[in-house]
Amino acid sequence: MKNEVFGCWYEPGDAGTWFTWFINQHHSFPNFSKNIRYEQKQNIPSDYSCYGANWVIKDSGDDKAFNFIDFEKNLIENQVSYNKDFYSICYKLIPWHNPFQANNNELENETNEQLASRLITESNTKAIIIPQVEVSYQVFAKRLAYIRPRISVEDAINDYKNRINKQYMNTVSQIEKITTVHTIAIDKLVLHNNEQEYNKLINILQVPALENWKQLTYQYYIEVYSKWEQN
């Protein structure tokens, strides 16, 4: 596999798929393509999909689990378009976006900590990058309630309050026991084109800035998040 491997581990609703795609647009990364995803058969964009970045660690639907060493083979077999000269990559985990989300019934003879450690070792992950919502959780909560209809907006808001006050910190502290972990305020990046957060990201990745990074973040905001600021 390639030399610089980053994992995007995140909580549902925290724009982790888009963030993984965004990271992979940078110099030396695969430049995966994207598709707009729609929920509930409505003509309302709910997210990007970025199939090339998916590392399937447990059979899920039509997706079959594979080892990280087979990541590039999987891209070829599934005819995924990508920059074949890449030497850096950022992956997202399927079906769990964060191995600490796996419950006891889903784990196979290992703890969450052992699962996380094994995945990091298997992939030779240099660092985990976590998108976190820090200041605009109401907007993200409304979108989460839309893509997860079983969750009310009120429950989603309470979920985000718990993330901000406790869950994010707990996840970081667990991952820090295994490898280097960085956090990015995803709401500042997506909703406000925050240069401080973007500069923090490219410093983590050790790559030059994308000339059009603000265009990419703004496009995602308009397509997916702007409607939830208006409602």
CATH at residue 155: 3.40.50
Neighbours of 39 (CB within 10 A): 14
Q: State the pLDDT at residue 147.
A: 87
Residue 108 has pLDDT above 90, yes or no: no
Measured between alpha carbons, how far is 39 from 59 in angstroms, rounded to an integer?
22
- Mean pLDDT of the region 50-78: 90
pTM (2 d.p.): 0.95
DSSP 60: B
What's the number of domains the chain is made of? 1
Segments forming the whole domain that contains residue 181: 4-230
Best-predicted range by mean pLDDT among 34-43, 61-70, 166-175? 166-175
Residue 1 has pLDDT above 60, yes or no: no
Structure token pair of residue 197 = 């957060």
199-214 per-residue burial string, b: 16 or more CB within 10 A, e: under 16: ebbbebbebeebeebe
Please tell me which residue, 40 or 95, carries the higher pLDDT value: 95
Strand partners, 8: 129
Using a pLDDT cut of 90, give the percent of the chain over it. Answer: 79
Please tell me which residue, 119 or 40, carries the higher pLDDT value: 119
Contacts of 177 (CB under 8 A, 6+ apart): 113
- Mean pLDDT of the region 189-217: 97
Please tell me which residue, 46 or 87, carries the higher pLDDT value: 87
Which band of pLDDT confidence, cut at 50, 70 and 90, is reported for residue 212?
very high
